Amino acid sequence: MIVTLIVVSEVGFWVLLAAGLALRYLARMEKTGAAVLLCEPLLEVVLLVVTAIDLKNGAEPDWKHGLAAVYIGFTATHGHYLVKWADGHAAHRLGRGPRPVKPPRYGMPRAVHEWKMAARGVGAAAIAAALLQLAVWYVGDGEQAGPLHAWQARMGLVAGISLVIGASYTVWPKRAPERVTDGASR
């Protein structure tokens, strides 16, 4: 049931995103479209409540409960970013708005962008780990909480990888290609 609810939450996210953007830019109902977009966090609240009820009703914690916490963590930190990105593109394509600004491609501006993305990854891992810890306390810290602890370890790995990626763009910044002005190739 939990996996099905995770899939329904993901599909619901995209359906609400499409409906909200369609209402905003195709139907010209900006407030209604914004209201639909603001309903997206309710999907995660429902998933969190159903997961807690499942555990309370005696379900043994397993990978599905851990996956639910991870999904909530990543949606909490990346959902707004994705909605803002999609809104900018929809405004440009459908509402005749300005072209969205692309992330920087080179140098320190790119490193700053990657550090912001790394912060989202670390934040997602922290939220997931905190939800997992709450679940561990909820079911009692014993052998049955093992799968939840395993997910916490994975979230530590995700946070570490995010930091390494951010640091790599700082230590080895991507350089802009040299422009050839005299027509000769280098």
Report pLDDT digits (tens) over 160-171. 999 999 999 999
Under DSSP, is residue 183 helix (H, G, I), strand (E, B) or coil?
coil
Residue 176 belongs to some domain of the structure: no
pLDDT at 185: 52
- In percent, the amount of the chain with pLDDT more than 90 equals 78
Total domain count, the chain: 1
What letter would DSSP give residue 145?
A: G
Confidence of residue 182 (pLDDT cuts 50, 70, 90): low
7-27: pLDDT as tens digits = 999 999 999 999 999 999 999
Examine residue 119 and state whether it is found in any structural domain, yes or no: yes
Share of the chain above pLDDT 70, in %: 96
pLDDT-derived band at 77, boundaries 50, 70, 90: very high
Does some domain include residue 184?
no
**What is residue 143's predicted lDDT score, i.e. its pLDDT?**
81
Banded pLDDT at 94 (limits 50, 70, 90)? confident
pLDDT at 184: 54
Among the residues of 22-106, which ranges form H helices? Answer: 30-38, 40-56, 63-94
Assess whether pLDDT exceeds 60 at residue 186.
no
Within-domain flag for 58: yes
**Distance between CA 82 and CA 37 in Å, rounded?**
11
Q: Residue 127 is part of which domain span?
A: 2-171
* 3-state SS track over 11-30: HHHHHHHHHHHHHHHHCCCH
pLDDT digits (tens, 9 = 90+) for 115-164: 999 999 999 999 999 999 999 998 886 788 889 999 999 999 999 999 99
pLDDT, mean of residues 72-101: 92
Structure tokens at 121: 């990854």
In a domain, 178, yes or no: no
Distance set, CA 176 to CA 89, 99, 115, 159, 179 (Å): 25, 22, 19, 29, 9
144 lies in a domain? Answer: yes
Q: Is residue 182 part of a domain?
A: no
Region 32-61 average pLDDT = 91
Q: Side-chain half-sphere of 148: how many Cα atoms within 13 Å?
A: 25
Q: Please check the confidence at residue 181 and state whether its pLDDT lies above 70.
A: no
Q: Work out the mean pLDDT of the chain and round it to a whole number.
A: 92
